[in-house]
Structure 1
Amino acid sequence: MIDPRTLREDPEAVRASQRARGEDEGVVDKLLSLDTRRRSSIAAADKLRNEQKLLGKQIPKAPPEEKQQLLATAKDLAAQVKAAEAEQNTASEEFDTLFRTVPNLVHPDAPVGGEDDFTVLKHVGEPTKLGFAPKDHLELLEALGGVDMERGAKVSGSRFYFLTGVGAQLQLGLLNMAIAQALENGFTPMITPSLVRPEIMAGTGFLGQHSSEIYHLEDDDLYLVGTSEVPLAGFHADEILDLNDGPNRYAGWSSCYRREAGSYGKDTRGIIRVHQFDKVEMFVYAKPAEAEAEHERLLGWEEQMLAKIEVPYRVIDTATGDLGTSAHRKFDCEAWIPTQETYRELTSTSNCTTFQARRLSVRYRDENGKPQIAATLNGTLATTRWIVAIVENHQQEDGSVRVPEALRPFVGGKEVLTPR
């Protein structure tokens, strides 16, 4: 959640952020009113408790003729304290419940608008020109013996699949290449849990506007994660970190699960939009003052990986209405997909500032040894969807697929994948 001091000291900044996101700015005035009520109730309860404490010291010393009256006053005061504490709890709960619905403040340079109002920061490479009618990734993978959609649907339903043979090799190769790069840059590799407690999922901000995307196991009250960002954000919950030697960087390998609610009719063919996929995600804990520079570094590492698979891509600055609850700013890298003649997202990196860490109580000690709220950041390093961009951009007229040079050591040295 945002810093409560920002709400009190600069409410217009919160209103402006809400407007930029397309959210209700009226929530600011409601919160200010609740905050005044909450703080007033705390002061009233404290005053009554202090009176109760002073009275408690007087009763044992009081003469017999006054003691009964003092006891009656103490009883009345105890009832007042109980009522004041109930009001304090109610006001605090109402404030906290509403306050948690407020998304992170947006970066002042983020483009304002919805999903289509992003700003293109740069293009890398020209859209692939193949010189023949391209096959889409599904046709290519099926000919290569790399995917089985029919049996995926038979076993699990729509938007599920089996990666088989070279398809499985491509995914494992990509993720291992991502882990290798992460290790080179000082990340700690992590295999993360796929299920998390409600407080961890809520702490990351995913139970707000994205809650319909998440699978919930009601009998166990656990959530299937849509990214290892979630368990990695919870990894240091309620801890104080040492960030004096630089950020803590993790690379989480996980299976990811998304309901794809609201996507009926979109990307129904192939493995672009599916319910389960694998991903390596970078996750960073940093000092807030270092977060913007770290965000640029994460984007740089994503671009290093994209260079290794040799596909044209563009970098976009995501618009405020498409940021997600926790993100202060988000950059996406989108690869060119020849059969769709458009760019599709392969990576996303977000600076979440102190939003998640404040919810999860992740802190660090400043130069004076005082605990402060940490910043968190995340970024995709490789995922199943990358296979789509690889096979479509590197396909050859006979249906074979050239393997990018950097990927070859991770797929058994194969240079070309040939149809069965």
Structure 2
Amino acid sequence: METIPNYDRWQEVERLRAERNAVANKMKGKLDPSVRQALVEEGKNLKEALITLEEDLVQLSDKLQLEAQSIPNSTHPDVPVGGEESSVVRTEVGNQRNFSFMIKDHFQLGKELDLFDFDAAAEVSGSKFYYLKNEAVLLEMALVNWAISEVSKKGFTPLITPEIVRSSVVEKCGFQPRAQNTQVYSIENSDQCLIGTAEIPVGGIHMDSILLESSLPLKYVAYSHCFRTEAGAAGAATRGLYRVHQFSKVEMFIFCRPEESDKWHEELITIEEDLYASLGLHFKTLDMATGDLGAPAYRKFDIEAWMPGLERYGEISSASNCTDYQSRRLGIRYRPAPPESPPANAKKGKGAGSGPTQYLHTLNATAVAVPRLIVCILENFQQEDGSVVIPEPLRPFMGGLDVLSPKPK
């Protein structure tokens, strides 16, 4: 069979399908046996040609999908251009605490308060894993329950997501599970991955769906464990809980109409800032530069909190507007509602006034990345006697416990 250029494959498949249908229609009713036999042979030849072309088309579509995934989203015109160092401070909240004593980092505090065990975890699982113990378990649960409770008050629906997803969903969300230095754990001999963020399974919850405009925005607050390879990570920031392979996180996610995504991005940032300010943390919000956006993000704001024991600001959350980058790949659209009073000359009939379906915009933001907030709490609220004061908003979720105190030896 003659080789067909790639750009003509789809048209040729459609042509052969039409011919096959025409042959099938000709075979209806009474026919001379010789005519019927000729049509049977023609149909057989068309079927064989279609099988070959359709297999080629599937392979071509897969290659096209991979090529498309290498193209990042466009960027907001106000995004600073350059690397991470070009990012601009949007807001700064609070001040660095002045300590009148020699401070400790969270790693030392955690050991002295018997809150976690990295040595046993290294033997059981490997480096960058940990056991949380005693009050640290209560603190993790408190952070998760507090975040879900506060965000739910803003109209977000709580979710607990799957933590294993298909590789194709990871890719459609803008991540590359099999790229060099990937952060994604792929499961051997399967098409599945461990999630690095609940953004992925929440993004996929309405995959290949057409939603009603009246249902928008859809707002979710999702709890999950997250798994990251941290490929290439090194340095002092890897000490303790700052950079680990497994952690708990509460993630916010919004599906909305395109013209409203900037507004909902502002709401997500405000929720994040209100949460961390209520804990008494000192932090700054950064409008991240183009070189640090990642493939899906049209615009991204990171929040970096002061961690006195580590003597640095550390990222504790981000909020991204991904516009229609993910929804196009995931096949998530909405059908605009018909106008309340259609024009007098509007034609009656199916779909009148509703117009074509449109792709949604998606946004995501971190409410709580548990280990890094534990770092912030231990280091910022440590006392001279080695104890740590629990921020007031978390105390109801810890059975009223307000201080972590050293254990008697």
TM range (shorter): 0.7 to 0.9
- Provide the residue aligned with 1:326 in structure 2: 296
Match of 2:73 among 93, 104, 119: 104
Q: Which structure 2 residues correspond to residues 6-17 of structure 1 after superposition, within 5 A? A: none
Whichever residue aligns with residue 357 of structure 1, its letter is S
Gaps of 5+ in 1: 1-36
Match of 1:180 among 149, 155, 180: 149
Residue by residue, what CA displacement relative to the aligned partner does 1:200-234 show, whole Å, maximum 9, x if unpaired? 21221112668721111113432111111111111
User: Would the aligned equivalents of 2:258 and 2:360 in 1 still touch at CA under 8 Å?
Assistant: yes
Per-residue deviation, 1:97: 3.1
Distance 1:411 1:212 in 2: 37
Aligned to 1:264, what secondary structure does the other structure show? Answer: coil
User: Would the aligned equivalents of 1:128 and 1:336 in 2 still touch at CA under 8 Å?
Assistant: no
Structure number having the greater helix percentage: 1
Match of 2:184 among 189, 192, 214: 214
- Provide the residue aligned with 1:133 in structure 2: 102
Distance 1:49 1:179 in 2: 52
Residue by residue, what CA displacement relative to the aligned partner does 1:162-208 show, whole Å, maximum 9, x if unpaired? 11111111111111100111221111111111111122212211126
Whichever residue aligns with residue 372 of structure 1, its letter is Q
Match of 1:153 among 86, 109, 122: 122
User: Would the aligned equivalents of 2:212 and 2:336 in 1 still touch at CA under 8 Å?
Assistant: no
Match of 1:200 among 144, 169, 177: 169
Distance 2:196 2:361 in 1: 21
Residue by residue, what CA displacement relative to the aligned partner does 1:315-334 show, whole Å, maximum 9, x if unpaired? 00111111122111111111
Per-residue deviation, 1:267: 2.4
Per the alignment, do residues 206 and 85 of structure 1 end up closer, same or farther by CA in structure 2, a change over 3 Å counting? closer
Whichever residue aligns with residue 369 of structure 2, its letter is T
- Provide the residue aligned with 1:22 in structure 2: none
Cα RMSD for the two superposed structures: 3.1
Q: Which structure 2 residues correspond to residues 25-174 of structure 1 after superposition, within 5 A? A: 39-43=7-11, 92-174=61-143
Per-residue deviation, 1:314: 0.0
User: Would the aligned equivalents of 1:48 and 1:80 in 2 still touch at CA under 8 Å?
Assistant: no
User: Would the aligned equivalents of 1:349 and 1:378 in 2 still touch at CA under 8 Å?
Assistant: yes
Aligned to 2:310, what secondary structure does the other structure show? Answer: coil
Residue by residue, what CA displacement relative to the aligned partner does 1:319-375 show, whole Å, maximum 9, x if unpaired? 111112211111111101112332111111111111111111111111216322111
User: Would the aligned equivalents of 2:323 and 2:361 in 1 still touch at CA under 8 Å?
Assistant: yes
Give the % identical residues: 41
Q: Which structure 2 residues correspond to residues 211-360 of structure 1 after superposition, within 5 A? A: 212-360=182-330
Per the alignment, do residues 252 and 210 of structure 1 end up closer, same or farther by CA in structure 2, a change over 3 Å counting? farther
User: Would the aligned equivalents of 1:38 and 1:92 in 2 still touch at CA under 8 Å?
Assistant: no
Per the alignment, do residues 49 and 361 of structure 1 end up closer, same or farther by CA in structure 2, a change over 3 Å counting? closer
Distance 2:210 2:25 in 1: 40
Distance 1:331 1:151 in 2: 36
Distance 2:272 2:127 in 1: 30
Across the two proteins, how many residue pairs are aligned to each other? 382
Aligned to 1:213, what secondary structure does the other structure show? Answer: coil
- Provide the residue aligned with 2:391 in structure 1: 404
Per-residue deviation, 1:290: 1.0
- Provide the residue aligned with 1:375 in structure 2: 361
Distance 1:176 1:105 in 2: 36
Per the alignment, do residues 210 and 357 of structure 1 end up closer, same or farther by CA in structure 2, a change over 3 Å counting? farther
Whichever residue aligns with residue 112 of structure 2, its letter is A
- Name the stretch that deviates more: 173-182 or 130-139: 130-139
Gaps of 5+ in 2: 338-353
Whichever residue aligns with residue 306 of structure 2, its letter is W
Distance 2:63 2:192 in 1: 25
- Name the stretch that deviates more: 164-173 or 50-59: 50-59
Aligned to 1:267, what secondary structure does the other structure show? Answer: helix
Aligned to 1:217, what secondary structure does the other structure show? Answer: coil
What TM-score does the superposition give when structure 2 sets the normalisation length?
0.83
Whichever residue aligns with residue 410 of structure 1, its letter is F
